[in-house]
C-alpha cells in the first residue's frame, strides 16, 4: 500500500465529511438571523419559535462542523508536510486570518447568542446572530481563497534559494478570480442547502399539522422563505458555476477535458450527457447521448468556433513542459461528479417550484406525497455540494498546486511531492480512526437532527422570556443551553 | 526586533491565550464527574452547574488553538511542517479527544436521559484529560528536542515523546489545568458547588504545586538561561499565592488571576527556553529549526503583523465583554429543569 494513496483517502474522507456540515452552517446562520429579525421587528411569536427551532438544529450541526474543522487545519502539517513547507509562506496567511477574523467572531458571538437570550437587550442579542452569520461567510472566503490558490496560484513567486513559493501580493491572493468565482459558487450552494433544509422541514410539518394554527402562522411562511432562498440559490448556482467553469477551461483545461471525457482537441465538441467506458480512460468511452452547442457555450459563451483541448493532447503538452508523468485526473470520477453536481441541483429547484405552487395565496397543502417529497429532497443539496468538491479536487490531480498557465511555472507541486514521509501503516491507523469516529458521530448527528425535527418547535419555546439585565447582586438564571 | 522575533512572541502569546482560557475548560471537564460524585443533593444539577460555567465561552477559547496553528503555518511553515508530521500520533490523539469533547459538550443536554448523559460525560472526561496531559507531554518533548535530521524530518522513537521529563510535563499541565479549573469554578459558582470547588482546589494545591515546581525547575536547569529564572520565579510566586488564597478561603477573583498567571508563566517559560530555536534537534544542533531558518518571508510576516495588530485587540475586547456579560455566579439549586428531549417521542 502506498502512503500517498492512504493520505489522499484520509484527506478526501475527512474533507468531504467536514463539508457536509459546513454548508448548512454557512447558509442557516443568515436564515436564522433573518427569522430573528422578523420576530424583533414584528413581535410575531411564530418567528420567535422558528428562530428557536432552527437554532437548535443549527447548534446540533455546528458542533460537528467545528470538531471536524480542527482536523482540517492540523492535517496539512501532519499528512502533507512537504506541501506545507512548499506553500506555507503563501497558504498559511489566509488560514491564520480565518482564525483571527472569522472563527473568533463566530465562536464567541455564538456563545453570546446561545446563552444570552435573557441576558442581552433584544437588539444586541439580534446583532450577535448577525455577527455569526457574517463571520461564517467570512471564514468560507478565507479558506476558499487558500484553496483557489492551489487551483490557480497568483501573487507569488518561486524562490530558488529556499525552494518554495513565496507571497508577493496578498491583494492578488484575495482578488484571485478563481477565488471570487469559487467563493460565490460555494456560498450560493450553502444557501441552497439551508433554504432547502428550512423549506423541506417546514413543508413536511405543514402537511403534518395542516389543521393547526401553526401551519398558517409558522410553517407556511417559513416554507415560502426557504423555497425562495433555494430558488434564488439554484439560479445563482447556474450563474456562478458558469463563471467558474469558464475560468477553469482557461486555467485548468485538463480538469474540464476530463470532465467531458474529451480525448482529442476538437472544435465545437458536443456536450456529453451519458457516456460508458470500460477502462476508465478516454479511449474506451462511448458517448451515448450528446447535445451540441452546450459545451462551446460553457467554455467561452459562444455557440461555435470554440476549440477545446483534449486529454491526450494536454497530456503530451504537459509531458514536454513538466517532464514525464501522468497528468490525467481520474476520468470516471470527474465526469460523473460533474454531472451529479448539476443533476442534483435540479431536485431542490423542482421542489421549490412545486412547494411555492402548492402554497400559493395562503393555501395549505395536504398531499402526502408532498410531505414525502419534502423529506426526500433534504439530502440532495448536501450530495450536490460533495459532488462539486469531489469534482474540483479530483480534477486537480495529480497536482496539489496546479501550475498557472500565465503565472510562475515553477510554482507547481504534485501530490506525491507534497505528502509527508510516513509509513502507510501509520497513516492507515489515522484513516481508520477518523473514519470510524466520524461514522459514529454521523449516526448520532442524524439521529439528533431527526429527533428534533420530528418533535417540532417545543412548548417552552413558545413565549420569549422578557429580557432583563440582572443586577450585580443577583444570582441570575442563565438561559441554560447545557 | 526582527519580524520573526515578533512572531515568535505572537505565537507564544496565542498559546498563552489558549492554555490560560482552555486550561480551565479542560479543568472543568476533568473535574465534572467529581462534582457529581461528591454532591449533596441532585448530582446532575451539580454537574450541569459546573459545565455551564464554561458554557458560553469554551468554544471561543478553543479558537486560540486554531489561530495558533494557523499562525504557526503562516509565520513558521518549516516548524509547522516538521513538528506536525513528526508528532503525528500524539496530535492524532489530541484531535480525536477534542472532537469527542466538542460533540459531547454540545450534545449532552440535547437528550434528557441518564444513559445519554453518561456517554456525553465520558466524552467530556476523555476529551479533557487526554489533551490536558498530552499538551504537556508534547511541549516538554519539544523543549527537550526532537530528532530533526538534515532533511528537516523527524523519525520519532517512543522515548522522544515518553520519558521522565515529558511525563512530568504532562503531569504538571494536567494538574495545573485541574487546579485552574477548580479555582475558576470557585469564582463562577455559589453554594454547594462552590464549596466543592474550594475543596477540590485545596486538595489539589500541594501535589499540583509540587509537580509544576519540579517540572519548572527541571526545565530551567536543563534548558534555561539566566533570565528565564525570572519567569520561573513568577510562576512559583503566582502559584504559591493561588494556593494561599485557596487555603485561606480568600478572594476568588484574585486566586483565579494567580492561577492564570501561573499557566501563562509556564507557557512563556517553555517558549523562552527554546528561543531562538523553534524545534531543537537532538541529532545535530545545526539541524535545529530556528526563528530564522523556518520562518516566512518578511513580506508575509508584515501582512500577518497588520492582521494581528488589527484583529487581536478586537478579539480580546469582545471576548472580555463576553466574560463580563456572563459574570454572574451559577448555583446548582437555581438551575432550571433539563430542556432536552426524551430519547423517544412520547
- Contact across the interface for A100 and B312, Cβ inside 8 Å: yes
pLDDT tens for chain A, 482 residues long, are 899 999 999 999 999 999 999 999 999 999 999 999 999 999 999 999 999 999 999 999 999 999 999 999 999 999 999 999 999 999 999 999 999 999 999 999 999 999 988 889 999 999 999 999 999 999 999 999 999 999 999 999 999 999 999 999 999 999 999 999 999 999 999 999 999 999 999 999 999 998 888 889 999 999 999 999 999 999 999 999 999 999 998 899 999 988 888 888 888 888 888 878 777 777 777 877 878 888 888 888 888 888 888 888 899 999 999 999 999 999 889 999 999 999 999 999 999 999 999 999 888 888 999 999 999 999 999 999 999 999 999 999 899 999 998 988 999 999 999 999 999 999 999 999 999 999 999 999 999 999 999 998 887 777 776 655 555 444 445 555 67
**Mean pLDDT over the full length of chain B:** 93
pLDDT value of residue A471? 53
Q: How are beta strands A307-308 and A266-267 bridged, if at all? A: antiparallel
Mean pLDDT calculated for residue range B261-279: 95
How big is chain B, counted in residues?
346
- How high is the ipTM of this complex? 0.94
> Distance between CA atoms of A193 and A23, rounded to whole angstroms?
7
- Tell how far CA A90 is from the center of its chain: 23
What's the DSSP call for residue B189?
B
**Residue A92 sits at the chain B interface (C-beta within 8 Å):** yes
A171: preceding bond cis by omega (within 30 degrees)? no
Q: Is A464 helix (H, G, I), strand (E, B) or coil?
A: coil
Q: Do A66 and B95 touch (CB under 8 A)?
A: no
pTM across the whole model:
0.93
What cell was used for B252? 476568588
pLDDT tens for A234-278 read 999 999 999 999 999 889 999 998 888 888 888 888 888 887 877
Mean pLDDT of the region B11-25? 97
Q: Is pLDDT above 90 for B42?
A: no
Chain B neighbours among A 325-364 (CB < 8 Å)? none
The crossing angle, in degrees rounded to 10, of helices A220-251 and A177-208 is 150
Residues of A in contact with B315 (CB under 8 A): 100, 104, 108
Q: Would you say A360 and A406 are in contact if contact means Cβ atoms under 8 Å apart? A: no
| Residue of A104, A114, A465 to mutate when probing chain B, most B C-beta within 10 A | A104
The pLDDT score that the predictor gives to residue A475 is 46
CA-based nearest residue in chain B for residue A437: B96
| Nearest-angstrom CA–CA distance, B139 and B216 | 13
Cα distance between residue A419 and residue A324, in whole Å? 20
pLDDT value of residue B44: 87
Peptide bond into B276 cis (omega under 30): yes
> Which residues in chain A have their CB less than 8 angstroms from residue B110's CB?
56, 60, 448, 452
Distances (CA, A) of A136 to A54, A72, A228, A274: 17, 16, 21, 38
pLDDT at B123: 96
> B315: distance to nearest CA of chain A, Å?
7
Q: What would the mean pLDDT of B78-102 be, rounded to a whole number?
A: 95
Mutate to test the interface with A, among B50, B82, B92, B124 (most CBs of A within 10 A): B92
Find which of B91, B103, B117, B278 to mutate to test the A interface (most A CBs within 10 Å of its CB). B103
CB B200 within 8 A of CB B34: yes
Whether residue A324 lies within 8 A of chain B, CB to CB, comes out as no
Are the CB atoms for B124 and B104 separated by under 8 Å?
A: yes
Check: CB of residue A123 under 8 Å from CB of residue B79. no
Contact state of B300 with A167 under an 8 Å Cβ cutoff: yes
Q: In chain B, what percentage of residues exceed pLDDT 70?
A: 100
Mean pLDDT across B85-99: 95
**Sign of CA pseudo-dihedral A233, A26, B123, B187:** negative
Q: Is B334 on the interface with A (CB under 8 A)?
A: yes
Q: Which chain A residues are closer than 8 Å to B84 by Cβ? A: 74, 76-78, 81, 84
- pLDDT-derived band of residue B335, with 50, 70 and 90 as boundaries? confident
C-alpha grid cell, residue A394: 479530483
Amino acid at each position: 500500500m502506498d502512503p500517498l494513496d492512504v493520505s489522499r483517502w484520509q484527506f478526501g474522507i475527512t474533507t468531504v465529511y467536514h463539508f457536509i456540515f459546513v454548508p448548512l452552517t454557512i447558509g442557516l446562520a443568515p436564515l436564522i438571523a433573518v427569522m430573528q429579525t422578523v420576530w424583533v421587528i414584528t413581535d410575531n411569536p411564530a418567528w420567535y419559535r422558528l428562530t428557536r427551532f432552527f437554532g437548535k438544529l443549527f447548534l446540533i450541526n455546528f458542533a460537528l462542523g467545528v470538531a471536524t474543522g480542527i482536523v482540517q487545519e492540523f492535517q496539512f502539517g501532519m499528512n502533507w508536510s512537504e506541501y506545507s513547507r512548499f506553500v506555507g509562506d503563501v497558504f498559511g496567511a489566509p488560514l491564520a486570518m480565518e482564525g483571527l477574523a472569522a472563527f473568533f467572531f463566530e465562536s464567541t458571538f455564538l456563545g453570546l447568542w446561545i446563552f444570552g437570550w435573557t441576558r442581552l437587550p433584544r437588539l444586541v442579542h439580534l446583532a450577535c446572530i448577525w455577527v455569526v452569520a457574517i463571520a461564517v461567510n467570512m471564514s468560507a472566503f478565507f479558506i476558499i481563497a487558500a484553496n483557489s490558490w492551489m487551483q490557480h496560484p497568483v501573487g507569488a513567486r518561486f524562490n530558488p534559494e529556499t525552494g518554495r513559493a513565496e507571497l508577493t501580493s496578498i491583494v492578488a491572493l484575495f482578488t484571485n478570480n478563481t477565488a471570487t468565482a469559487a467563493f460565490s459558487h460555494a456560498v450560493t450552494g450553502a444557501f441552497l442547502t439551508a433554504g432547502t433544509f428550512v423549506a423541506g422541514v417546514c413543508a413536511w410539518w405543514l402537511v403534518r399539522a395542516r389543521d393547526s394554527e401553526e401551519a398558517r402562522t409558522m410553517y407556511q411562511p417559513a416554507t415560502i422563505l426557504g423555497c425562495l432562498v433555494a430558488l434564488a440559490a439554484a439560479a445563482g448556482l447556474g450563474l456562478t458555476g458558469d463563471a467558474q467553469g469558464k475560468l477553469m477551461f482557461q486555467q485548468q483545461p485538463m480538469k474540464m477535458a476530463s470532465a467531458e471525457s474529451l480525448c482529442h482537441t476538437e472544435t465545437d465538441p458536443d456536450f456529453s450527457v451519458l457516456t460508458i467506458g470500460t477502462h476508465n480512460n478516454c479511449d474506451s468511452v462511448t458517448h451515448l447521448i450528446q447535445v451540441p452547442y452546450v459545451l462551446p457555450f460553457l467554455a467561452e459563451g459562444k455557440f461555435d468556433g470554440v476549440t477545446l483541448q483534449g486529454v491526450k493532447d494536454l497530456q503530451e503538452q504537459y509531458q514536454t513542459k513538466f517532464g514525464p508523468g501522468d497528468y490525467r485526473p481520474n476520468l470516471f470520477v470527474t465526469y460523473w461528479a460533474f454531472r451529479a453536481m448539476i443533476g442534483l441541483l435540479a431536485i431542490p429547484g423542482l421542489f421549490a417550484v412545486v412547494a411555492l405552487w402548492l402554497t400559493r395565496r395562503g393555501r395549505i397543502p395536504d398531499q402526502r406525497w408532498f410531505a414525502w417529497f419534502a423529506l426526500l429532497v433534504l439530502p440532495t443539496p448536501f450530495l450536490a455540494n460533495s459532488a462539486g468538491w469531489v469534482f474540483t479536487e479530483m480534477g486537480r490531480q495529480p497536482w496539489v498546486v496546479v501550475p498557472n498557465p500565465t503565472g510562475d511555472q515553477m510554482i507547481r507541486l504534485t501530490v506525491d511531492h507534497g505528502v509527508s514521509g510516513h509509513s502507510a501503516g501509520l497513516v492507515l491507523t489515522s484513516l481508520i480512526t477518523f473514519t470510524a469516529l466520524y461514522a459514529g458521530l454521523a449516526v448520532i448527528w442524524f439521529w439528533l437532527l431527526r429527533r428534533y425535527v420530528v418533535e417540532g418547535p417545543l412548548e417552552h419555546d413558545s413565549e420569549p422570556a422578557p429580557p432583563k439585565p440582572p443586577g450585580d447582586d443577583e444570582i441570575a438564571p442563565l438561559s441554560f443551553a447545557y | 526586533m526582527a519580524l520573526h522575533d515578533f512572531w515568535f512572541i505572537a505565537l507564544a502569546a496565542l498559546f498563552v491565550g489558549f492554555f490560560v482560557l482552555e486550561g480551565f475548560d479542560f479543568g472543568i471537564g476533568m473535574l465534572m464527574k467529581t462534582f457529581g460524585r461528591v454532591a449533596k443533593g441532585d448530582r446532575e444539577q451539580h454537574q450541569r452547574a459546573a459545565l455551564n460555567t464554561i458554557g458560553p465561552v469554551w468554544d471561543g477559547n478553543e479558537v486560540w488553538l486554531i489561530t495558533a496553528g494557523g499562525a504557526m503555518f503562516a509565520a513558521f511553515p518549516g516548524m509547522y511542517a516538521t513538528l506536525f508530521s513528526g508528532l503525528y500520533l500524539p496530535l492524532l490523539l489530541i484531535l480525536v479527544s477534542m472532537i469527542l469533547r466538542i460533540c459531547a459538550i454540545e450534545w449532552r443536554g440535547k437528550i434528557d436521559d441518564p444513559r445519554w448523559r453518561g456517554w456525553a460525560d465520558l466524552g467530556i472526561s476523555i476529551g479533557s484529560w487526554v489533551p490536558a496531559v498530552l499538551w504537556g507531554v508534547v511541549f516538554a518533548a519539544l523543549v527537550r528536542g526532537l530528532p530533526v535530521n538534515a532533511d528537516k524530518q523527524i523519525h520519532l522513537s517512543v522515548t522522544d515523546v515518553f520519558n521522565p521529563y515529558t511525563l512530568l510535563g504532562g503531569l504538571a499541565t494536567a494538574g495545573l489545568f485541574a487546579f485552574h479549573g477548580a479555582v475558576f469554578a470557585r469564582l463562577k459558582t455559589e453554594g454547594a458547588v462552590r464549596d466543592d470547588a474550594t475543596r477540590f482546589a485545596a486538595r489539589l494545591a500541594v501535589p499540583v504545586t509540587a509537580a509544576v515546581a519540579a517540572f519548572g525547575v527541571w526545565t530551567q536547569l536543563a534548558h534555561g538561561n539566566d533570565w528565564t529564572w525570572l519567569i520561573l520565579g513568577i510562576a512559583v510566586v503566582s502559584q504559591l499565592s493561588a494556593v494561599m488564597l485557596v487555603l485561606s478561603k480568600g478572594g476568588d477573583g484574585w486566586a483565579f488571576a494567580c492561577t492564570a498567571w501561573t499557566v501563562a508563566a509556564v507557557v512563556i517559560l517553555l517558549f523562552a527556553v527554546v528561543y531562538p530555536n523553534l524545534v531543537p534537534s537532538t541529532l545535530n544542533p545545526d539541524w535545529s529549526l530556528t526563528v530564522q531558518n523556518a520562518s516566512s518571508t518578511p513580506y508575509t510576516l508584515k501582512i500577518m503583523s497588520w492582521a494581528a495588530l488589527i484583529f487581536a485587540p478586537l478579539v480580546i475586547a469582545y471576548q472580555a465583554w463576553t466574560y463580563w456579560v456572563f459574570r454572574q455566579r451559577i448555583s446548582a439549586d437555581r438551575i432550571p429543569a433539563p430542556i432536552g428531549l426524551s430519547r423517544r417521542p412520547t
